[in-house]
Amino acid sequence: EIVLTQSPGTLSLSPGERATLSCRASQSFSSSYLAWYQQKRGQAPRLLIYGSSSRATGIPDRFSGSGSGTDFTLTISRLEPEDFAVYYCQYYGRSPFTFGPGTKVDIK
Amino acid sequence: EVQLLESGGGLVQPGGSLRLSCAASGLTFSTYAMNWVRQAPGKGLEWVSGISGSGAITFFADSVKGRFTISRDNSKSTLYLQMNSLRAEDTAVYYCAKAVLDFFGVVKIDYYYMDVWGTGTTVTVSS
């Protein structure tokens, strides 16, 4: 089973700043199998990125994903007020399709 | 527009059973694999189970293997999660989520990431 670790647990930033979120895997896998989600309080998650770097439909280009092997990154180039939320990475190459524990991005 | 609507949650005693349903609309349901994902109060997301479009292939997290069963009725565009031997740690919001289909040439491939989610149904296991 691949275990995902996300860091930091909480990221305190101001609107307009750049956010860099990390997702590290317990073993290497193809970058084709990494997704990122955003979840706001009281809402279902929303798909942001799949295949490590492809944006889902309707996702603004301030969101970008990168990485390979065991290290993956979600970058939000300039934080908008609506971007303050919790972000999860997910591995989906082979069952179990595990999630990371999440990174909370909150307002500084 | 694809929509997923979960139902069947509620309060159940430890050791009890519950069946969740997820009614899908706006898609050819049988084409797509589906997932159940849960979120315990104040916690992160946990993938629970997945099923192929035909229902022939199923996957489970170790935490529910042997206790939960996933199934689907493609004629009713409905996904199910049968939960038996429930424990306090199964208390969570349960989300139904659609997986993604792609093709490699003529070969159909299911990718178990989730591009559409329901709003969730709450399961509470308590005496």
CA distances B72 to A27, A99, B23, B101, Å, are 33, 24, 10, 17
B117·A45 Cβ contact <8 A: yes
Chain B contacts of A3, Cβ < 8 Å?
A: none
| A residues 71-90 closer than 8 Å to B (CB) | 86, 88, 90
Residue whose tokens read 């309080």 = A41
Closest residue in B to A91 (Cα) is B113
Distance, CA of A45 to chain centre: 11
Q: What is the pLDDT of residue B101?
A: 87
Residue whose tokens read 């159909």 = B108
For B77-88, what is the mean pLDDT?
98
- What does the pLDDT look like over B20-69, one tens digit per residue? 999 999 999 999 999 999 999 999 999 999 999 999 999 999 999 999 99
Q: What is the pLDDT of residue A76?
A: 98
B95 Cβ partners below 8 Å, 6+ apart?
A: A44, A45, B6, B36, B37, B38, B39, B117, B118, B119, B120
pLDDT at residue A27 greater than cutoff 90: yes
- What does the pLDDT look like over A47-83, one tens digit per residue? 999 999 999 999 999 999 999 999 999 999 999 999 9
B62·A100 Cβ contact <8 A: no
Evaluate whether B46 touches B39 at the Cβ level (below 8 Å): yes
